[in-house]
Amino acid sequence: MADFKVKNLSLADKGNLLIEWASNHMPVLNQIAQRFSEEKPLKGLRIGACLHVTKETAVLVKTLAAGGAEVALCGSNPLSTQDEVAAALAKVGIKVYAWRGESRDEYYWCINRVIDHQPTITLDDGADLVSTIHSSRREALENIRGGTEETTTGVMRLRAMAEKGVLQYPIIAVNDAYTKYLFDNRYGTGQSSIDGILRATNILLAGKRFVVCGYGWCGRGLAIRARGMGANVIVTEVDPLRALEAVMDGFQVMPMSEAAAIGDIFVTATGNIAVIRGEHMLKMKDGAILANSGHFNVEISLPDLKEISVSKRTIRPNLEEYKLKNGRRIYLLAEGRLVNLASAEGHPSEVMDMSFSNQALCVEYLARNPHMEPKVYRVPKEIDEMVAKLKLKSMGIEIDKLTEEQKKYISSWESGTI
């Protein structure tokens, strides 16, 4: 069996420059890599990773290898692999199976090659690796002692597996660390999704009506960044609490059926299916732009879009024009896949520094705790706090310390109104 499959190995030098650039902006992960290379806490582990193959992921993979692990890697989305990075990793002996533009079959072929390496730990982003292992590759379960999950949608799928009693090994929900979702989902998705939209279209955001579907962590990042560029932001939600937050954060909130008729740009970030459907598309203005930042390409109903269209043209990479039966045109970005990864470069390295430091430390935690129950776990508080502390330190920011009097005061009940 070949030890890797990438688009073009001669891109490795370019990939190395990108990885170096990312690494320069990932001081916390570098510190962990330094310790890992001295202590080798992951010695003997075989890691099977299904993550977006970006320059930041390369820094994580190298960190895990520095800790003594063998790593096999595939992409977690058919359109998100940076081919230069995949080539650079293959050249240093990482078993990488990933290229940009995989078909569905190729995508699962790559996942299966990672499973062939008999991982003892899995790293997943969206739970396609874990669900493949639990459905068609159950023999792999024998070697696996634990795993981690990077994103909201993956955690939802894994919790569903745990509730139904089918999850066979422990998984740490890296997504749910404060030092992950408060920064990666919010500021990472906010900035990089706008970046993806601009790279695909180069439109002016100022003055546009920018509809954000879902006011979760990704949605609020998108909303604040779009407002910062002068757009009028409209939010759609199904959760009354989050809708209320959006209202009090100063955004217009309305149902999709109303937003459809007035929006210029629509971005989904819900983790849900068919949030924008044919009935909405038929109400949209000529020239409306649709993009998705949620994990899977199901948030904008592509079957509906195809059904109500009479023709389709590719205007430029990541920008497709659909002509509808009603004569209007709708522009779909990045085939409805994660716009920030397919049309830009994913999150900036600075936020991935925190997400992937959590990943590295959670892998170490799994290595040190081999007998955990098959459940979905939160990231241990010590890890979350350590990542926050190290990140602040790397930014040169100091904070106050509690005095002894303050520690006593906040843990007592005796003193009240004075």
Query: Which residues of the shown chain bind ligand NAD in the complex (CB under 6 A)?
Result: 151-153, 181, 185, 189, 213-219, 236-239, 242, 269-272, 275, 293-295, 338, 340
Structure tokens at 306: 């195809």
**Closest distance to ligand NAD from the beta carbon of 119 (Å):** 22
**Closest distance to ligand NAD from the beta carbon of 79 (Å):** 12
**Closest distance to ligand NAD from the beta carbon of 357 (Å):** 16
CA–CA separation, 231 and 285 (whole Å): 17
Task: Give Cα 146 distance to the centre of its chain.
Answer: 20
Measured from the CB atom, the residue of 232 and 343 that comes closer to ligand NAD is 343
CA–CA separation, 98 and 78 (whole Å): 8
Measured from the CB atom, the residue of 113 and 347 that comes closer to ligand NAD is 347
Measured from the CB atom, the residue of 97 and 181 that comes closer to ligand NAD is 181
**Closest distance to ligand NAD from the beta carbon of 213 (Å):** 5
**Amino acid of residue 276:** I
**Closest distance to ligand NAD from the beta carbon of 166 (Å):** 20
- Full 3-state SS string of 200-243: HHCCCCCCCEEEEECCCHHHHHHHHHHHHCCCEEEEECCCHHHH
Measured from the CB atom, the residue of 66 and 362 that comes closer to ligand NAD is 362
CA–CA separation, 379 and 369 (whole Å): 13
Measured from the CB atom, the residue of 69 and 211 that comes closer to ligand NAD is 211
Measured from the CB atom, the residue of 16 and 343 that comes closer to ligand NAD is 343
**Which ranges of 308-370 would DSSP assign to H, the alpha helix?**
339-342, 349-368
CA–CA separation, 141 and 27 (whole Å): 35
Structure tokens at 298: 């199901």
Measured from the CB atom, the residue of 56 and 364 that comes closer to ligand NAD is 56
**Closest distance to ligand NAD from the beta carbon of 339 (Å):** 7
**Closest distance to ligand NAD from the beta carbon of 40 (Å):** 31
- The tally of CA atoms less than 13 A away on the side-chain side of residue 391 is 21
Q: CB 369: neighbour CB atoms within 10 A?
A: 14
Closest among 93, 166, 173, 96 to 366, alpha carbons compared: 173
